[in-house]
Amino acid sequence: MPAAEGSIDLSAPLRPADLRRAATPVPVVAGAGVHDRVQRGRDFLRDVLREEERPVYGATTGFGALVGFPGREEEADQCDNTLAHLGAGQGPELAHEVSRAALLVRVWSLAQGRSGVSAHVIDGLAAMFATTFVPAIPRYGSVGASGDLIPLACAAQALRGRGEAYVDGRRMPAAEALSQAGLTPLTLDGRDALALVNGTSLTTAATALALDGVRSSHRAMQALTCLLVDLLGCDPGFLDPRLIAAYGHPGAADVADGMRKHLAGIVPAGTRALQEPYSIRCSPQLLGAAEDALRYVDGVVAADLSGVSDNPLFFPDDDLVVHGGNFFGQPAAFASDVLAMVTAQLGNLAERQLDLLVDPARNGGLPPMLAAGPGRQHGMQGVQLATTAFVAEIRHAALPVSMQSLPTNLHNQDVVPFGTQAALRAHDGAALLRLLCGSLAVGLRQAAHVGARRPTAPGCAALLDALIEAIPPVDPDRPLEADVRKAAELVVDVW
């Protein structure tokens, strides 16, 4: 039976857009074939467990470095054995959109039938997404190897009615939250519990959400750069297709093509220097390199969203239980570090363009700080100070995490990717980059108020008009925090 329109179907490929949708209530359904393949994997697990000579990690054994010792005999006890010792997370809680996205990635992986889980685990997780239930998950504790064990264990406990959770944005005991959301606490055995935690679903989700955010800001930066060019009356020759073709990079060619279309109809002022500063002249090369890097991250995220992250995996057709390392988040760790580097350079570009715009020596004679009455007013001065702080924060967080491996777990995990840390830092950076785009947008709007020319390219004029409608001029001075956020929403989410 086909899934209802607007729902997320666990029998279909998982897309990054689905993770965004999961932040708010959305129907998640186990479509065609999901229950059959999940039940087949479960029946195969039961058959294997009846054969004493075929141990199954986590179902009959201890965990991690204690795999050589037998687990608990009762299934319910083995579940407790799995989850209790992982209750060691600390720090601030994950953003709700990240927590719910991680659980969507997890249930999709389990729904592929390779994990040996009970069918009611799929149904219970799917039911959660139609509500506002969110497990309260601490940020720190995962090393992104053997899966995101500690944060996912916290989520699993909340789904059992233990720990804390949110409903309608209110924090409360998880059992109460389940009741208010109309959900039934999950009943798990050892294999169910291990399958819920033994994957890199948090790492994958945070990477995908960060990618979505950075991509949106990357598109916004192309439009904002064009508006800056037109407001200042720059010559668009730095986008000449012959010049860019000679550069040889496909991302630059595609970005420059889009910027030329946005600037179609521009009439240069004829008052600018022969060569613009690099923040304008080299923008297609910089934004193009970012595009090439983001395409690499696109591929990693697509692979992670279509892969099964667990250990062991079950293959009934081949009578195989395969123990391995599909819970190792190295691809997302590398991709998230690339995202962080892209974010740092895009953020720097936005900050440098704003700096150029507020400087009367370079902005074509507009007043310093774009103040309507310099001295009596200060225009963009506070916003520019904030952008400098944002860039410093992004740079600090851009230190590569994926090569910081530390052995742990009695050297059972003797190499680890730290993908969770890399992904969450990339997610943080994406949020700051969004604010940098909003800050630049407010500056461009203010430039129009204090004397910049009317854009001559229709595409640029339309963007400026949208900003003028959304953001009042800074005259007199006022707090601009809300304006920066509103401008970010306009240029990043809407434009």
- Burial track 212-249 (b if 16+ CB lie within 10 A, e otherwise): bbbbbbbbbbbbbbbbbbbbbbbbbebbeeeebeeeeb
Q: How far is residue 442's CA from residue 487's CA, in Å, rounded to a whole number? A: 6
Joined tokens for residue 156: 């699993």
DSSP string over 12-30: S---HHHHHHTTS---EE-
Let me know: does 161 contact 185? Beta carbons within 8 Å. Answer: yes
The three-state secondary structure class of 419 is helix
DSSP string over 125-180: HHHHTTS--EE--EEE---SSSSSHHHHHHHHHHHTT-SEEEETTEEEEHHHHHHH
The helix-helix angle for 119-128 and 190-197 (nearest 10°) equals 50
How many Cβ atoms sit within 10 Å of the Cβ of residue 454? 11
Active-site residue, from 57, 247, 278, 296: 57
Q: Is 57 a catalytic residue?
A: yes
Q: How many helices and strands (H and E) does the chain possess?
A: 18, 9
Beta strand 8-9 with 28-29 is parallel
Which residues are registered as beta bridge partners of 138? 93
The half-sphere exposure of 168 on its side-chain side, counting CA atoms within 13 A, is 5
Residues in the chain: 495
DSSP string over 88-113: --EEEEPPHHHHHHHHHHHHHHHTTS
Catalytic center residues? 57
